[in-house]
Amino acid sequence: MTISEKKIYPRANDRETVYLKHVITNPNIIVGDFTMYNDFVRDPRDFEKNNVLYHFPINRDRLIMGKFCSIACGAKFLFTSANHTQKSLSTYPFPIFFEEWDLDVEDITSAWDRKGDIIIGNDVWIGYEAVIMSGVTIGDGAIIGARSVVTKDIPPYTIVGGVPARQIRRRFSEETIAALLELKWWNWPREKIARKIEAIKNGDMKALV
């Protein structure tokens, strides 16, 4: 087993940070190795209850996160059922209250517009209290600014911020980004990552390859 497969808490005497993979019970939330969540307000082990919202089994949508992601305190992932349908002449979700209005329970999902899965790449940093909306894909290496609201897909290695989140800049040159996406260092064996960790930390692409 790797360290990430054995531990909930990455650091000794720190109960505010967890490896998310090992506190998730919902099969529709899939998290890669070493992805961590920090919460200094609530118990980080309750991530799927406090941070993954409107995520009802009837929709079968998924939250998929890659490896080595960093999720800051209070980040939220809002799923399909937060999206009241815009096809209706009313914003009120009548189908949810099928008993009150004598409606067909089988029609309950017509209360919202289905947006789909939230997919987070590898090595993504999601800042404090950022909100990620359903149907969004965030590319590898992206950075989401604090309290941003992400409503559209984010390309790899792109920094975004604001409400709604907009591109601020790319983290590296196109050549470096292409090389990183080809290398996919996060998929290397743990031993190789350990050998190359100084190159990763220091941004030394030559040493990395």
Mean pLDDT of the chain: 94
The reply to whether 156 and 198 lie within a common domain is no
| CA–CA separation, 13 and 53 (whole Å) | 29
The CATH number linked to 65 is 2.160.10.10
**What pLDDT score was predicted for residue 2?**
47
The reply to whether 64 and 16 lie within a common domain is yes
The reply to whether 200 and 184 lie within a common domain is yes
**What pLDDT score was predicted for residue 6?**
72
For the chain, what percentages of helix, strand and coil (3-state, to nearest 5) are there? Answer: 30, 20, 50
The reply to whether 9 and 68 lie within a common domain is yes
Percentage of the residues of the chain whose pLDDT score is greater than 70: 98
* Beta-bridge partner residues of 132: 77, 150
pLDDT at 1 over 50: no
Supply the range of the domain harboring residue 187: 173-209
The reply to whether 14 and 37 lie within a common domain is yes
User: Total domain count for the chain?
Assistant: 2
Q: Look at residue 110 and tell me if it is in a domain.
A: no
pLDDT at 153 over 50: yes
Q: Look at residue 84 and tell me if it is in a domain.
A: no
Confidence of residue 209 (pLDDT cuts 50, 70, 90): confident
**What pLDDT score was predicted for residue 47?**
98
Residue with tokens 């799923």: 79
Q: For 7, left (φ over 0), alpha (ψ -120 to 50), or beta?
A: beta
Prediction pTM value: 0.92
| CA–CA separation, 30 and 122 (whole Å) | 12
Per-residue pLDDT tens for 96-110? 999 999 999 989 999
pLDDT at 3 over 60: no
The reply to whether 150 and 190 lie within a common domain is no
The reply to whether 37 and 119 lie within a common domain is yes
Q: Look at residue 22 and tell me if it is in a domain.
A: yes
Q: Which two tokens stand for residue 7?
A: 């531990």
Give catalytic residues, as residue numbers: 84
| CA–CA separation, 111 and 146 (whole Å) | 31
**What pLDDT score was predicted for residue 4?**
44
In Å, the largest CA–CA distance within the chain is 67
pLDDT at 140 over 70: yes
Q: Look at residue 123 and tell me if it is in a domain.
A: yes
Per-residue pLDDT tens for 37-56? 999 999 999 999 999 999 99
- Stretch 29-39: mean pLDDT: 98
pLDDT at 167 over 90: yes
Alpha helices in 32-185 (DSSP H): 47-50, 98-101, 174-183
